[in-house]
Amino acid sequence: MTLGEIATPALILDLPAFEANLAAMRQACAARGVRLRAHGKAHKTPELARRQIADGGSAGICAQKVAEAEAFVRAGIDDVLVANEVVADGTIDRLARLSATARMAVCVDDATVVPRLGAAVRRHGGTLGVVVEIDVGAGRCGVSPGTPAADLAATVAAEPGLRFAGLQAYHGAAQHLRTPDERAAAIARAVDLVRQSLAALERRGIPCPDVTGAGTGTFTLEAASGVYTEVQAGSYAFMDADYARNTPAEDAPAFAHALFVLATVMSTAGSGRAVVDAGHKAASIDTGLPVVHGRPEIAYVGASDEHGVVTDPASTLRLGDRLLLIPGHCDPTFNLHDHVVAVREGRVEAVFAVAARGKGW
C-alpha cells in the first residue's frame, strides 16, 4: 500500500525519521556516558520499545502505568521501570506479579507504601527495584530532596524483597521551557537538589546505584551533570509540534518529526477553508493544534471530535487530498489509535499494535 491508499485518519510513523532519531539519541547518550531508558508512555507500542532496545541503545524501558508495563512484559520486554508511584492494593499486586518474571522497578514517595510493596513481592516470589522519587522543581510527585529522601531510602533498603535502586529526579516542568537558558537554570537547580540527596544518602551509608530522570527537552543537561546516570526521554523518537517550539540547545542532537496523523480533505464547501477528517479524536490538542507538514500556506485552525478545519486561502485543496498533520503532543495522540502504520518512502512496511493504548490502570 501507498500513503494514498490508507484509510484515514491514520497514525503514521515515518520509519527513516524514527530510525534516525533512535541513532541520534543512542549516540548522544553514549558520548555523554549515560544510560538511556526510553519512556514507553510516549508510544505504548511494544514493537517500538523493542526497536529502541535493539537498535536505539535503550537499556530497558520506562512505563508510567502498571497496565502499560504488563503490555510491554507480555511482548517480551524484560526490564521495565514504572517511573511513577503505585499505591492501590490491586495495582501493587499486579506489579509484584510482574516482578517474579521480569526485572521491575517502581518509584515511591511515601514510606507507608514500602511494606505493602515488600509484602506483595514476597507473596509472588520476585524482587523489585524501588526508586525514591524526589521533587526537583516540577511540583508533582516526589519527597523533598536531602534528608527526607535518605530516610525513605533507608526504609526501602530495610524491607526484604525490595532493592533500593536509586533516585528519580525528573523535572517535567522544565521540558518545554522554550529557551536553552531557562532550561539550563531549571536543571542546574535540579542537579543541586540531587547532590544534596546523594550527600544525605552518603551520610547514612546507603549506596545510590542510579539517578534517573530527564526528558527530551533537557536530557543533554542531566547527561552532562555528572550526577544523573540514566535518561528517560520518550518524545525524542517522534518529535511533536510542541517540542518543535523549543529553541534547541547548541549541543543537542536534532530530532526529526517522525509521527503524523494522515487526514483526508472531506469538504471544500466553505470559502477560504477546507475540512479534513481528523479532529481531536485523531490528534490530541492539549498542547496545541496539529501543524500541517510541508504545507506552510495551510494552517490547521479548529478541531472538533471528527473534523479539522484548515485554512485554504487560495482554494488549492480538492476533495480527497491528503495532508500529514504533525500532532501537538505525541503521547496522548498514540493513545487515541489502535495501530500505527509504519511507512518508508511512501510505502507501508508494517502495522504495529499500540498494545498499551488505553491501559492507564
Kindly state whether residue 175 participates in binding ligand PLP, applying the rule CB under 6 A: yes
Element (H, E) at 341: strand 339-344
**Which one of the spans 5-13, 15-23, 228-236, 284-292 is the region binding ligand PLP (CB under 6 A)?**
228-236
CB of 38 to ligand PLP, least distance (A): 8
Kindly state whether residue 165 participates in binding ligand PLP, applying the rule CB under 6 A: no
With respect to ligand PLP, which residue has the nearer C-beta, 229 or 264?
A: 229
Question: Which residue has its beta carbon closest to ligand PLP?
Answer: 215
CB of 299 to ligand PLP, least distance (A): 25
CB of 191 to ligand PLP, least distance (A): 16
* C-beta of residue 94 within 8 angstroms of C-beta of residue 71: no
Kindly state whether residue 228 participates in binding ligand PLP, applying the rule CB under 6 A: no
Kindly state whether residue 186 participates in binding ligand PLP, applying the rule CB under 6 A: no
The DSSP secondary structure of 155-191, one letter per residue, reads HHHTSTTEEEEEEE---GGGTT-SSHHHHHHHHHHHH
* C-beta of residue 59 within 8 angstroms of C-beta of residue 103: no
Restricting to residues 51-90, name those near ligand PLP by CB under 6 A.
Answer: 64, 83
Kindly state whether residue 232 participates in binding ligand PLP, applying the rule CB under 6 A: yes
With respect to ligand PLP, which residue has the nearer C-beta, 68 or 277?
A: 68
With respect to ligand PLP, which residue has the nearer C-beta, 39 or 44?
A: 39
Give dist(CA 24, CA 256) in Å, integer: 10
With respect to ligand PLP, which residue has the nearer C-beta, 132 or 266?
A: 132
Give dist(CA 220, CA 253) in Å, integer: 9
Distance, C-alpha 247 to centroid of its chain:
20
Element (H, E) at 196: helix 180-203
CB of 359 to ligand PLP, least distance (A): 16
CB of 268 to ligand PLP, least distance (A): 36
Kindly state whether residue 41 participates in binding ligand PLP, applying the rule CB under 6 A: yes
CB of 331 to ligand PLP, least distance (A): 6
Contacts of 5 (CB under 8 A, 6+ apart): none
Give dist(CA 338, CA 158) in Å, integer: 43
* C-beta of residue 308 within 8 angstroms of C-beta of residue 276: yes
Among 21, 99, 235, 284, binds ligand PLP (CB under 6 A): 235
Restricting to residues 258-317, name those near ligand PLP by CB under 6 A.
Answer: none
CB of 318 to ligand PLP, least distance (A): 36
Kindly state whether residue 167 participates in binding ligand PLP, applying the rule CB under 6 A: no
With respect to ligand PLP, which residue has the nearer C-beta, 114 or 330?
A: 330
Kindly state whether residue 49 participates in binding ligand PLP, applying the rule CB under 6 A: no
Kindly state whether residue 39 participates in binding ligand PLP, applying the rule CB under 6 A: yes
Q: Please, what is the Cα angle at 79 between 243 and 235, to 5 degrees?
A: 5
CA neighbor of 71 nearest in space, from 45, 89, 97, 93: 45
Q: From residue 133, give the alpha-carbon distance in Å to each of 13, 70, 143, 226.
A: 33, 22, 6, 19
Q: What angle do helix axes 89-99 and 113-124 make, rounded to 10 degrees? A: 50
Positions in the binding site for ligand PLP (CB under 6 A): 39, 41-42, 64, 83, 170, 172, 175, 215-216, 232-236
